A = this chain, B = another copy of it.
Amino acid sequence: MLLRMSTLFVRTLREDPADAEVASHRLLVRAGYIRRAAPGIYTWLPLGLRVLAKVEAVVREEMTAAGAQEVHFPALLPKEPYEATGRWSEYGPNIFRLKDRKGGDYLLAPTHEEMFTLLVKDLYSSYKDLPLTLFQVQTKYRDEARPRAGLMRGREFVMKDAYSFDVDDAGLEVSYQAQRDAYERIFTRLGLEYVICAATSGAMGGSRSEEFLAPMAIGEDTFVRSAGGYAANVEAVTTVVPDDVPYDDAPQAHVEDTPGTPTIDSLVAHANVAFPRPDRAWTAADTLKNVVVALVQPSGERELLVVGLPGDREVDMKRLEAAVAPAEVETAGDADFAAHPELVRGYIGPSVLGPNGPEGSVRYLLDPRVVSGTRWITGADETGRHVVDLVAGRDFTADGTVEAAEVRAGDEAPDGSGPLELARGIEIGHIFALGRKYAAALGLTVLDQNGKAQVVTMGSYGVGVTRVLAALAEVNHDDKGLAWPANVAPAHVHVVATGKDEAVFAAAESIAETLSSRGIEVLYDDRPKVSPGVKFADAELLGVPLVVVVGRGLAEGVVEVRPRVGGTAEQVAVAEAADRVAELVDELV
């Protein structure tokens, strides 16, 4: 393959696009790989499409090697299957909905669990037909509230989604593991570092899920990991629950005036002076903060909730949302407090909440650290007053616990593998052991050995193909431009002819043709009236891994061969240039 810059449909830009916050977005636009068509919706130009096709090819090969069979579903789908599983409403405003000319409701599918389930139901009926894993590489749609970072979070994007069908849990485990292994091979082949994190299942449902995150500072997901090998999306981290504390010797709770304590720090300082603990000083972790939020169900129903947690931690809204999904979380407003005069801002205590209050009290969930016997300073439901030595399990209870407190570096991993560190990454893959949710909702059963109908158990497995490309750009760039790994680069070699000498262009053309005839993919900068400086800058921006410069050295019979990043430039005799480049390409690919 030989692409000539003189005719290639590309224009590089010297300026960053105004809306680009991250390097991959900036550089993919500047290098002419993509153009924005609408918010979160991009057009692929020839070079970008070549990279996308290579990423897709790796994904397809590994899916096929893992025994998955390729199919292709429509993007435009009727409402009914998604209504049967509840997702039509659960997705809320996050999906694109439309009506056809007859008034029928349709959606642009964000993912295809329902359709795969119905297809297998349509064709298969016996346990002998299973296991089965199907996949597609397909365009998906999500009406993101905040499309961002170019291809990282778009509204139209390419996904590989696979679905496994098994007759029992052991089969699902095997299918799940096969996909998990395939994902490891895919990202390894692409040279993309990944961390497999325990994750929450969100709107997808199911018993178990893991995310493949590519660690990078611009990632929008926070995850944790321990030296001992634990890794989890921050939404999925479970708190290490301390043992209950005996409270036989605890003093009785007492209400105190606490003037001039607008903050937790000032409250703690006041407490240590005015009503000191005999055993140790009060800390912020001894205060019980009660945070009021509103949950909005997909149906639109809105309900207040109070989360009680140690005063040294904040509520992490993403963890809370994951815990209460599919409900969304809003902050409580003036109208909410007006409707609930028992909630005294800044002084909310457990006694008016959940089971402690009268019937119809606001629902109350506690951080798992608030175990029986712990002693707290908390609001006394009157402005300017707190209650001290309020003991959990003795003086108050709740409607349950909730994983909503922020996770902090140094927290213990739930599996005992040591303290956690926090990092950021972007989700490039997500695998779900769905179980029987979709099959049950849509009636997918097969007859077992005994002729008895069994609900099929499923998994679903996604790779964000478009996002993988963006992640590759993000981790393979420098301040001059992109620097693709050879196996996804739009070409292997970028041949640059410099100057005006016809002999230079003839030699460059010959090298380009020779390489192309050997099956090496060549981008040849044959533009006659473009300066060497512009050509070199373009080569650095475009990011093809090997650059061959044919220029002044030709008078001495040499051309320069240099890698886009790392390594050093070599002067190679013209006659040996093709051989040497072929050798280097072999090493790279």
Contact = CB atoms under 8 A, between A and B. Distances in A.
A297 interface: no
Contacts of A155: 76, 100
A156 interface: yes
Contact of A156 (B8, B41, B74, B134): B74
A183 interface: no
A139 B75 contact: yes
Contacts of A44: 71-73
B74 A11 contact: no
A454 interface: no
Given A70-B49, A134-B9, A77 B41 contact: yes
A476 to B, nearest CB: 22
B71 A46 contact: yes
Interface in A89-136: 93-94, 96-98, 100-101, 106, 108, 115, 119, 122-124, 132, 134
A100 B143 contact: yes
A71 B96 contact: no
Contact of A124 (B11, B77, B97, B145): B11
Nearest to A52: B72
A405 B77 CA distance: 41
Contacts of A207: none
Interface in A225-272: none
Contacts of A71: 9, 43-46, 49
A461 interface: no
Contacts of A41: 74, 76-77
Given A37-B77, A76-B96, A143 B70 contact: no
Nearest to A145: B101
A74 B143 contact: no
Nearest to A134: B9
A571 interface: no
Contact of A46 (B70, B115, B143): B70
A49 B60 CA distance: 13
A38 interface: yes
Interface string A1-24: 000000011110000000000000
Nearest to A72: B44
A141 interface: yes
B74 A43 contact: yes
Contact of A119 (B35, B72, B124): B35
A43 B143 contact: no
Interface string A27-61: 00000100101100111111001001000000000
Number of copies: 2
A78 interface: yes
Given A96-B100, A98-B98, A123-B9, A108 B46 contact: no
A37 B100 contact: no
Contact of A42 (B43, B74, B94, B108): B74
A135 to B, nearest CB: 10
Nearest to A44: B72
Given A35-B122, A98-B96, A132-B9, A46 B75 contact: no
Contacts of A11: 123-124
A487 interface: no
A74 B38 contact: yes
A372 interface: no
A69 interface: yes
Nearest to A81: B37
Contacts of A141: 76
Contacts of A124: 11
A86 to B, nearest CB: 20
A43 B156 contact: no
A75 B138 CA distance: 12
Contacts of A77: 37-38, 41
A409 B319 CA distance: 74
A76 B156 contact: yes
Contacts of A73: 37, 43-44
Nearest to A143: B101
A122 B93 CA distance: 32
Contacts of A10: 123
B9 A74 contact: no
Nearest to A13: B123
Nearest to A108: B76
B98 A69 contact: no
A522 to B, nearest CB: 15
Contacts of A97: 98
Interface in A139-161: 139, 141, 143, 145, 155-156
Contacts of A42: 74
15 contacts: A9-B71, A9-B123, A9-B132, A35-B123, A37-B115, A38-B76, A42-B74, A44-B71, A45-B71, A46-B69, A49-B72, A75-B156, A96-B100, A96-B106, A101-B145
Q: Which 5 A-B pairs have the closest CB atoms?
A: A98-B98, A44-B72, A11-B123, A93-B101, A41-B74
Given A38-B74, A41-B74, 20 more contacts: A9-B71, A32-B123, A35-B122, A37-B78, A38-B77, A38-B106, A41-B77, A43-B119, A44-B71, A44-B72, A46-B71, A49-B70, A49-B72, A74-B156, A75-B156, A76-B156, A96-B106, A100-B143, A101-B143, A101-B145
